Structure 1
Amino acid sequence: MRLQNRLNQYQRLYDKIGLDVQAVTVASLAAIFFCSERHTRTLLTQFQESGWISWSSQAGRGKRAQISCLKTPESLRESYLQKLLNEGEHSAALQLTQLDPQHLNSLLAPHLGGQWQEDAPTLRIPYYRPMQVLDPQTLNGRAEQHIAHTLHAGLTRFITGQPTPQPDLAHHWQIRQEGEVWQFFLRSQLYWHNGEPLLTRQLCQLFEKLRHSAHSRHSLENVERISQPHALCLQFNLKKPDYWLAHRLADLSCLLFHPTEPTIGSGPFKLAHFAAERVRLEQHPYYHLQRPYLSAIEYWISPQRYEPKGNDNVSCQHPVQIILGEKSEMGLLRPVKRSTSLGFCYLAVNLQRQHLTPAQAQKIIALIQHSGLLDNLPIDHSLVKRSREMLPGWPLPERNENHARINDVQLPPKLALMFHPPIELKLLADELKVILATHGCELHTSYHPGRLWDSVEQLAEVDLLLGDRLIGEAPVATLENWLRQDLLWPTILDAESLEQQNCRLLEIQQLPSESLREQRLREHFFQLMKQGSITPLFNYQYQVSAPPGVNGVQLTAWGWFDFCQAWLPPPLD
C-alpha cells in the first residue's frame, strides 16, 4: 500500500534526522531513501504538505537545506490506524501497524463487539487464531464448522435447541416404500450467494460428488440412486431403509456448495472477505428463510490472539469462552449464556492391538475415575465438568477400584498413548503417566496436532487414545454418525467386533421409531463402555460474554451462538 511505503520512507528519515534541525543536501537524503534525487524532492514535498517535516531549501546544486521531523513515526502510524479502524478497514490497519501486540490490542478494543457501520448492524468478534479455508469438506475446527453451517444450506437443517431436522432447501419431504424411497420437495427461487439460481440438477450432481468423497461417503453409502422426478424434487433410493437420512443431510458432510467454488453457499450469510487477519460474513440478500438481524459479522484476528505454544507444541488457549468485545473491558462485558456441552473428551482403548485385555482396560478406566485425577487436574474447573454419563440418560458402567477382580489385574510393563488438542488432554496424559507408574506400567505419550484422527496406521501403534468428540443439536444421530465415520473404531475394534457393530447400526437405522433407535444405540454404547473400549471423561462449560447492547445471543450445541438470532439496537445518539 502507498501509505505503508511512505511511512517506511519517513521512518528512515526520522532514524537519521530525528526532531532536531539538520543541514542536509538532497543527494544525502536520496541515499537515505534509496531513490533518485528527483523522487526525493517529491517525497519531501509530500511530507511537508502532510505536516510531517519542516523543510527549507536553498537554490543551487549542492547547497545545504534545513530539515527537521515534526512527528514521530509511531504517532503517525497510530493516527492513521485510528482513521482506518474508524472506517472499518481492519485488514489495512493490521498491514500498516508495526506496533507491539499489546499496543495494537488497545487500539482495536473500541472497535470490537456490536457496532453500527454505515447504518448497518455489525458484530465484530475478537479471535485468537487464523481460520481454515471455509470449504465444508475439509474443516475440523469448531469455529469453522459453525461458520460453514452459516454459509451453507442443506436439504434439511438443525435449529438451535431442536434435536429433529427441520426444512431448509427442501420445505417438506416424504418417505415411501417402508423407508427405502425419500422425496425432498425444494423451495422455488433458490439462489447461491453470487446471485446465480440454485438448480435441482446442480444438487443432483453435488450429491453424486459427495457420495464418492472421503468426507461424505459414510453419510451416503446407503444411497443407491439420486434422481430428479420433478424440477423441484430430489429423490433418494436407498439400498436399505434409513430413518436417519434427514439427520444425515443436515450434517456438515452434506452441506451443499456451489459447483465451482466450495466457499459459495446459500445459507443466511455469505463470505465477503477472507484473510489471515479478518474474516467478514455479510447477509445473503436472497436467503430463502427468515433473514438474520445483523448485516455483517467479522472475526478480527490479531497477532496477540494467535495460539501460544507449549513445549510440546500443544495449544494452550481454549475457545470455550467466546468474548464479544475486548477482555480489557470485562467491567462492561457480561455472561449472557452458559451451557454444559454434550460433547466430551474421552479415553479410547485399542483392544485390537492386544497389548491390553478388557480387564486391564477396565482397570485403567477405574484408576482414572476413582483416583481423583479428573478432579485435581491443574485446569480451570469452571470450564470443565467431569462426565457422569455419555448423554443425558445414558449412564456410565459402575466400576469400583477396590473390587478384588480389578485390583488383582496386572498392567503391561509398557503402554503407548496418543492425544490431540485441547490442552486438557495433555495435562491428563501427564497425570495418567504418574498414576500408571505406581502400578508398574511405563506410559509413553505422543501428540497428534489435528483435531481429528487421520491415519489408521498411526493409531494402530498406540494402546490408549485421548480425544475430543463434538456433539451437535441431534446428539443421538451425532453418536451414530461417529461410529460410522471416525477412524477410531476400525482401529480399536477387532474385525469381528467391527462387523457386529456395522450389522447393529444397519438394524438400528431401519427402525421407524426414534425412541427405539435411541434405546438400541444407547445399549450398544453401554456395551462398548462396559468392555473398556471407550469412556467419556469430562465435558466443557460453554460461555458467551457480550457488552451491553448485543441481544438475542443463543448458544448452539457446538458452543457458538446462533448468528441469525443476535441483534443490536440502533444507537440512541
Structure 2
Amino acid sequence: MQIMEHYQQLIKVFPNQALHTPFDITISDLSAVFYCTDRNTKHILAKLQEKGWVRWRAGRGRGNYSQMTLLKELDDAIIEEVKLKVEHDSIEEAISFLQRYQTNQNVHQQFINWLFTAYQDNRETKDQLRFPSYRPVPILDPLFVNRRTENHIMYYVYSRLVYYDRVNQMYRGDVAHTWEANHSSTEWIFYLRKGIIFHNGKEMTVGDVVYSLSRHGKTTSPYHWMTNFIHNVQVINTRTIKVVCNHSVPFLPQILSTLGASIVPSTISLNPRLPIGTGPFQITENTKDKLSLQAYTAYFDKRPFLDKVTVYFFSNLYDNRSSDAIKDQTQLNFFAYPYVKKDEAHYHQKTKIDEGSKLLTFNRKKGPLATDDLLRKAIVTALDQEKMIQELGGNRFVPGSRLIRNLEQKRLSHNLEAAKKLVLESNYAGEVLSLIGYTGAGNELDGTWIQERLHEIGVNVKTTFFPYQNLYDQLLESTDLLLGEQLAAEDELLTYLQAFLGNHSFMQLHLSIKDKHDIEKAIEKATSISILLDFLQTKEEYLCRENNHVHLYRLKQFSIYPPYAENVSMNALGWLDFSEIWYKN
C-alpha cells in the first residue's frame, strides 16, 4: 500500500478532524486504521511526517495516548504527489496515479492548470501541442465511427483521393494528383501519386486504393451509403483507377473526400485503436489516459510544423465544466475549452459558432410521432432553446434552426401553455415516448432537460443512453426520439448528403419513407451540384416546417493558445487545425 493510501485511510476514519488541531490516539488505534502491525505503523508514521502531512507527539509509556495533528488536506496531498510523479517519472504515471483516487473536480483542474501552464519539461526539445479532453478515443477507424473528436483525429491519420481546401473553397488532389470525368459524370479516372508510404513503412499500391473504396459494404458502417453510388472500381494500371458509378454523380469528389474514402492497407487487419494510414500524423500511443500523434516524416505532402500532439484524458472535464478555483495562469500550450479562467496577457483566444448542432429527431416512419402533426408541433413549441442554453450552460451558445448555419431562420416562439393546448388537441393518449442517444457530448443533461420540459406539458418520455460503440446495435428506427450531434462538413452539399444519407445519421434514420425516396430520386437524377444543392435546401426547409426534427443549439467552440502560436484556425468540427499551426519561438 502506498503512503497516499494510508493518508487517505486516515482521513476517511477521521473525516471531521480539523487540520492543525491535535487529538489523542494510540499506536494500537492507528494499527487498526492501517490494518497492520504496530511496527509497520511506526514506519508509516515516519513517512507521513517526512511528507509533512502529520505531526506526531509520542506518549510516554506503553499504551499511553499520543497526539497526532493532521496538517494537509487530502486533495492538496494528492496534488503534491502528482506533481512529483510528473517531475520524477512521467506525465502518464502522474495521470494514472490521479485517476486512482476519488477526488473532487478542482483537483483535476488544478493539476491540468499546473501541467499546461507552470510545468516546463526542460528535456523537451520538440514543438508539441498538449491539451486536455474528457474522453478516450479507442476507435479510430471510419468503418466503425462517425463522431466529432474521432473524425478530427482521423482526418490527420488518413489520406483520401481528394480533399477540400477550405481556404480556397475547392477540391484538390490528395492521394490522387488529378482526375477527370466523362461528360455524363458516370465514369471517373483518378491518377495516383508515386511513392506514398503507409505509417508502417509499406508503399501504397493501387490495390490498397481499390480495397479502401469497397470496404464499407456492410450496412453497419457509417459510410455504407457511399457504396450506393459506386458500381465498381477498376484498375487501369499501377497508378490509375477508374470509378464506374451507378448513375450520373457530378459530386463524386465530395464523396471521395469523406473519411469513408480513407486509404488503408489492404494486406493487414487494421487495429482501430492504432490505425495505419498515410496522413501527416501517425498514432504512436492510444490508451484510456493519453493519445499521442507524431508528425509523419515520410508524409508525401507538406509536413506539419508540430512534431507531436498529445491529448490527456480527464473524465472530470465532461460537459466542459469550468471552475473559479483556478487562477494566476502564466503560459498555456492549448485548451479546446475554457476550463480555466484566462489571463489575457498570457493567452490568445479564438472562438467560433459550431457549424453543426445538437439535434432531436422525430420518428416519421412509425409510432405516435409519425402522423401526429400536432404532437410534434407541441414538442417543438415546448422546447425553449434559449432557456435550455441558459439553464444547462457549458459551451451551449445559440439556438439552431437549420442544417447550414447561414440559412438560419427566425427563431420560433416557445410557450408552455400553447404547447399544452396542442397536446390536448393531438391524438396523444399518455404513451411513454422513447428517447435514445449516446453517452457523452452533453447528451445526458440535454435528455434529462427535454424529459422534464415535456413532462410539464403532459408528455411522458423515457430516456436511455448507450455507449457510442453499442448505440447502433439498438432498434433506432423504432425509437420515437433520437438525440445527438449533427456534424457539419466544410462543404455545404456534403453536409446535406451525410445528414440525409449517412447510415449513422439520426436525421436519415427517422425520415419518412416518402421523404427518403424523394431525396434519393433527386440525388440520382441530379445533373449538376447547384441544382442538387437547391433541391436539398428546399427539402430541408420543408422538413423543418413539418417539425421532422429540431436543432436545439449550436456550441461555442474555443481555441485558447499562447502568444507564440501562429496561424491558428478552426475547422468545421470546431477543432484546431493541427497541420497549419506553428510556433514563433
After TM superposition, the score normalised by the length of structure 1 is 0.75
Whether the 8 Å contact between 1:193 and 1:264 is mirrored in structure 2 is: yes
User: 2:583 maps to which residue?
Assistant: 568
Per the alignment, residue 263 of structure 2 pairs with 256
After alignment, is 171-180 or 104-113 more displaced?
104-113
**Quick check: 1:530 aligned with 2:545?**
yes
Give the aligned partner of residue 221 of structure 1: 228
- Residue in 1 aligned with 2:304? 292
Matched, 1:134 2:134: no
Between 175-184 and 417-426, report the one with greater CA deviation: 417-426
Partner of 1:198: 204
Query: Of 410, 427, 441, which residue of structure 1 is paired with 2:449?
Result: 427
- The alpha-carbon deviation at position 186 of structure 1 amounts to 1.3
Task: Name the CA shift for 1:349/1:96 in 2 (closer, same or farther; >3 Å).
Answer: closer
Q: Which of 275, 279, 293 is equivalent to 2:291? A: 279
Q: Does the 8 Å contact 2:401/2:411 carry over to 1? A: no
Match of 1:165 in 2: 171
Q: CA deviation at 1:307?
A: 6.5
1:88-147 residue CA offsets vs partner (Å, 9 max, x unmatched): 832122334569464565344343269786321111111122223322322243112100
Q: Which of 333, 342, 348 does residue 355 from structure 2 map onto?
A: 342
SS of 1:299's equivalent? strand
Q: Secondary structure at the match of 1:106?
A: helix
Q: How many residues align?
A: 513
Structure 2 partner of 1:482: 499
CA contact (8 A) 2:320 2:337 kept: no
Any idea what the Cα deviations from partners look like across 1:316-369, whole Å, max 9, x if unmatched? Answer: xxxxx95479726656564522222221223433233252475x4366437635
1:218 to partner: Cα distance? 1.0
SS in 2 for 1:179: coil
Residue 446 (1) aligns with residue 446 (2): no
Provide, for residues 417-436 of structure 1, a one-character-per-residue CA deviation record: whole Å limited to 9, x for no partner.
Answer: 415353334323422331x3
Compare 127-136 and 78-87 and name the one that shifted more: 78-87
Q: 1 CA distance for matches of 2:286 and 2:217?
A: 29
Structure 2 counterpart of 1:122: 128
- Mapped to 2, the partners of 1:190 and 1:504 lie a distance apart of 38
**Aligned partner of 1:152 among 151, 158, 161:** 158
2:520 aligns with one of 478, 497, 502: 502
- Contact 1:126–1:324 (CA<8 Å) still a contact in 2? no
Report the 3-state secondary structure (helix = DSSP H, G, I; strand = E; otherwise coil) of the residue aligned with 1:112: helix
**Aligned partner letter, 1:500:** D
Deviation at 1:165, TM superposition (A): 3.0
CA 373–451 in structure 1, closer or farther in 2 if over 3 Å, else same: farther
Alignment of 1:90-105 (within 5 A): 90-96=91-97, 100=103, 102-103=106-107, 105=109
For residues 514-536 of structure 1, give each alpha carbon's deviation from its aligned partner in whole angstroms, at most 9, with x where no partner exists: 22221111122223223332343
SS at match of 1:352: coil
Corresponding residue for 1:384? 397
**1:111 aligned counterpart, secondary structure:** helix
Q: Secondary structure at the match of 2:247?
A: coil
Q: By how many angstroms is 1:268 displaced?
A: 0.9
RMSD (Å) for aligned C-alpha atoms: 4.8
Q: Which residue of 2 aligns with 1:209?
A: 215
CA offset at residue 567 of structure 1?
A: 1.9
Tell me how far apart the structure 2 counterparts of residues 121 and 398 of structure 1 sit (CA, whole Å).
Answer: 45
- 1:28 corresponds to which residue? none
Residue 264 of structure 2 aligns with an amino acid whose one-letter code is F
Give 1:478's aligned amino acid. Answer: T
SS in 2 for 1:201: helix
Q: 1:399 to 1:273 in 2, by over 3 A?
A: closer
- 3-state SS of paired residue (1:226): strand
In the alignment, the residues of structure 2 paired with residue 224 and residue 372 of structure 1 have an alpha-carbon distance, to the nearest angstrom, of 44
Report Cα offsets for 1:368-399 as digits up to 9, x if no partner. Answer: 35x68222224338732122544256465998
* Contact map agreement 2:192 2:239 (CA 8 A) in 1: yes
In the alignment, the residues of structure 2 paired with residue 327 and residue 334 of structure 1 have an alpha-carbon distance, to the nearest angstrom, of 11
Letter in 2 for 1:142: R
- Residue 351 of structure 1 pairs with residue 357 of structure 2: no
Q: Which residue of the partner structure matches residue 23 of structure 2? A: none
- Tell me how far 1:256 sits from its aligned partner: 2.0
Cα distance between partner residues in 1 of 2:507 and 2:474: 9
The C-alpha deviation readout for 1:491-517, integer Å capped at 9, x for no partner, is 534444433332122123xx2x32222
* 8 Å contact from structure 2 (residues 214, 227) kept in 1: no
The 8 Å contact of residues 383 and 542 in structure 1, kept in 2 or not, is answered as: no
User: How far off is 1:209 after superposition?
Assistant: 2.3
Which runs of 5 or more structure 2 residues have no equivalent in the other structure?
Answer: 12-34, 53-71, 322-333
- Cα displacement (A) at 1:168: 1.1
Native 8 Å contact 1:353 1:460 kept in 2: yes
Q: Which moved more, 1:517-526 or 1:126-135?
A: 126-135
> 1:96 & 1:361 partners in 2: Cα distance?
54
Q: What is the aligned-residue identity percentage?
A: 15
Q: Is the counterpart of residue 186 in structure 1 residue 192 in structure 2?
A: yes
Work out whether 1:375 is the aligned partner of 2:386: yes
Distance 1:109 1:533, change over 3 A: closer
AA at the equivalent of 2:576: F
For 1:265 and 1:363, the matched residues in 2 are separated by: 48
Q: Return the alpha-carbon distance in structure 2 between the equivalents of residues 503 and 112 of structure 1.
A: 52
**CA contact under 8 A between 1:322 and 1:560: conserved in structure 2?**
no
Does the aligned pair in 2 maintain the 1:281–1:296 contact within 8 Å?
yes
Alignment match of 1:269 (pick from 275, 281, 286): 281
> Deviation of residue 237 (structure 1)?
0.9
Contact 1:325 1:546 in 2 (8 A): no
Where in structure 2 are the equivalents of 1:395-434 lying within 5 Å? 396=409, 410-414=425-429, 415=431, 416-420=433-437, 421-422=442-443, 423-434=445-456
Residue 556 of structure 2 corresponds to 541
Matched, 1:460 2:464: no
Q: 1:557 aligns with which of 557, 566, 572?
A: 572
Displacement after TM superposition at 1:224 (Å): 1.3
Larger Rg: 1
Output the CA distance in 1 between the equivalents of 2:80 and 2:335: 30
Give the TM-score normalised by structure 2: 0.73
Partner of 1:444: helix, strand, or coil?
strand
- Give ranges in structure 1 of 5+ residues lacking alignment: 16-31, 35-39, 53-71, 310-320
Residue identity matched to 1:217: H
> In the alignment, is the contact (CA less than 8 A) between 2:374 and 2:425 conserved in 1?
no
CA distance in 2, matches of 1:193, 1:559: 27
Alignment check: 8 A CA contact 2:337 2:558 kept: no
Secondary structure in structure 1 of the residue aligned to 2:582: coil
- Which letter maps to 2:377? I
SS in 1 for 2:215: helix
Instruction: Tell me how far apart the structure 2 counterparts of residues 155 and 534 of structure 1 sit (CA, whole Å).
Output: 34
How far is the alpha carbon of 1:294 from its aligned partner? Answer: 0.8
